[in-house]
Amino acid sequence: MGGVVIVDDQSPEPGSPDSKRANFRASREAEARVLLLIDGFSRKTTGPRTLEGRVKLAKLDFLLRYPRHLATVLASRGLRDAERQTLDRQDSPLESRMMRYRYGPWDPSYFAVLGSLVGRGLIEVVPAEGTNALGYRTTESGVALAEHLKDDGAFDDVLGRITLLRRHLDLTGESLKKMLYDLPEVADATWHEELT
């Protein structure tokens, strides 16, 4: 086919250098989800607040991405079955698997996702209230984009889970980490193993 270049748009072969690099890239879906999560935790009626630190962000994002595990954690905290029913019917997409690292679930793309959101002026990194840590909060542009995403309807399940997280699991990153280590799927996983 003289001069015609055929581009294969399929995912890279598992285990290839391209597939490993892909783990560190930010996707638009991940950016939208993390933006909505930070926005959900960085607003209050008396003014801005922050989502305190990467450990808390990663643990909340794990529960956001894995509704079955969120249901288990909420059950351990005494949340009624009726409030957890919809979580059992939701599933996490295969392309959003997190990995087991030293401090629990982690996504290697967080640095790219957070860098992209900061670089585009959608979130800012600020001292977290009452701690020595840094926190994340949405900027005016981030709030406007989050509102647009909420109106879209495509993120309704995600937004419902963020509401549950804010209402029932607005704890320290350390407390959330301990809860996740009570989940056999997390505690028994080896480092760098994909979590299901």
Please say if the pLDDT value at position 190 is more than 70: no
Amino acid sitting at position 8: D
> CA nearest 173: which of 52, 64, 69, 75?
52
What is the per-residue pLDDT for 140?
Answer: 94
The closest of 103, 85, 115 to 179, measured between CA atoms, is 103
Residues 7-63 pLDDT 10s: 344 444 545 454 455 556 667 888 999 999 999 998 776 767 889 988 899 889 889
Question: How many other C-beta atoms can be found within 10 angstroms of the C-beta atom of residue 128?
Answer: 18
- Between 11-20, 100-109, 163-172, the lowest mean confidence (pLDDT) is in 11-20
Six token digits for residue 98? 């997190």
pTM: 0.77
Asked if residue 118 has pLDDT above 60, the reply is: yes
CA-based nearest residue to 189, from 54, 99, 108, 91: 99
Is pLDDT at 138 greater than 70 in this prediction?
yes
Instruction: Give the full edge-to-edge strand order of the sheet including 134-138.
Output: 51-52, 134-138, 123-127
Residue 189 φ then ψ, to 5°: -75, 150
Determine what percent of the chain is predicted with pLDDT higher than 90.
28
Of residues 129 and 135, more confidently modeled = 135
Over range 158-174, report the average pLDDT. 91
| Residues 160 and 168: beta-carbon distance below 8 Å | no
Mean pLDDT score across all residues of the chain: 76
Compute the residue count for the chain.
196
